[in-house]
Amino acid sequence: MKIENTKAQMRKGVLEYCILLFIKDNELYPSEIISKLKESKLMVVEGTLYPLLTRLKNAGILTYRWEESTSGPPRKYYSLTPIGETFTNELSGTWKALEQAVTFAQKQSK
């Protein structure tokens, strides 16, 4: 059992949830998502976002539309599907429960 694995596991679940939260409010293209993630220090490198987005898209949670860009290749703008919205809401519920559980656990350990 490596500490990195645990960290990565923790981060991974949260990462998906955060991405969904970002997209929920407005359409975003990957670079924008990345800059938000970087701000929140959830993601360090960009490359790993793409597999994640593709997976979410394949799962029917995200959808995208193409938009021409002046500074390079056309961009994919991602948005939530109806499924994605319910999914995000469910995750919000789960997150609350988790938050409570973790807070409780932390208090107990003090």
Partner 1 sequence: MKKTLTINLGGLVFNIDDDAFVVLKNYLDTIKGYFDTSEGRDEIMTDIESRIAEMLTEKMNGGKEVINSNDISEIISVMGQPEDYIADDLDEEPKRQQSYSQQSNTNNSYSQQSSKRLFRDTEAGNIGGVCAGIGHYFGIDPIWFRMAFVLSVLFLGTGVFLYIILWIIMPEARTSAEKLSMRGEPVNFENIGKTVEEEMKNVKKKFSNYDSEGVNQTTETIKSGVHQVGNFLLSLFKFAFQAIGKILGFLFLIFGGLILFALVIGIFTPVDQIFFEAGGSEYGYSLIEISNLFFPSGLDFWLTIAGVILLIAIPLIALIFAGATMLFGVKPPKYTGIALAGVWILGIIITAIGGIRTSVEFKKDSSISEVVTLNEFPSDTIYLDIYNEKELNSGNKYRHNEREPFMIKDGILTIEDVEVNVLETNSDYPQLEIIKESNGRNYEEADERAENIDFITNIDSNTIYISPNFKVSSKDKWRNQSVQVNLYLPNGKTVFLPKSYKHIIYDIKNYHDTYDRNMVNMFWTMTDSGLISPEIMKRENSEFEVDQEFEKVEINIKADNEEHSIVIQ
> In the complex with partner 1, which residue's Cβ is closer, 76 or 80?
76
**Which residues, 6+ apart, have CB-to-CB distance to 27 below 8 Å?**
65, 77, 78, 79
Of 25, 41, 58, 108, the one binding partner 1 by CB under 8 A: 58
Say how many C-beta atoms besides its own lie within 10 A of residue 34's C-beta: 19
- Contact between 68 and partner 1 (CB under 8 A)? no
How many residues of this chain bind partner 1 (CB under 8 A)?
28
- Contact between 44 and partner 1 (CB under 8 A)? yes
User: Considering Cα of 22, then 42, then 50, then 13, what sign does the dihedral take?
Assistant: negative
- Contact between 3 and partner 1 (CB under 8 A)? no
Residue type at position 46: E
Of 3, 25, 41, 72, the one binding partner 1 by CB under 8 A: 72
- Which residues would be at the binding site for partner 1 (CB under 8 A)? 4-5, 8-9, 11-12, 30-31, 44-48, 50-55, 57-58, 69, 71-76
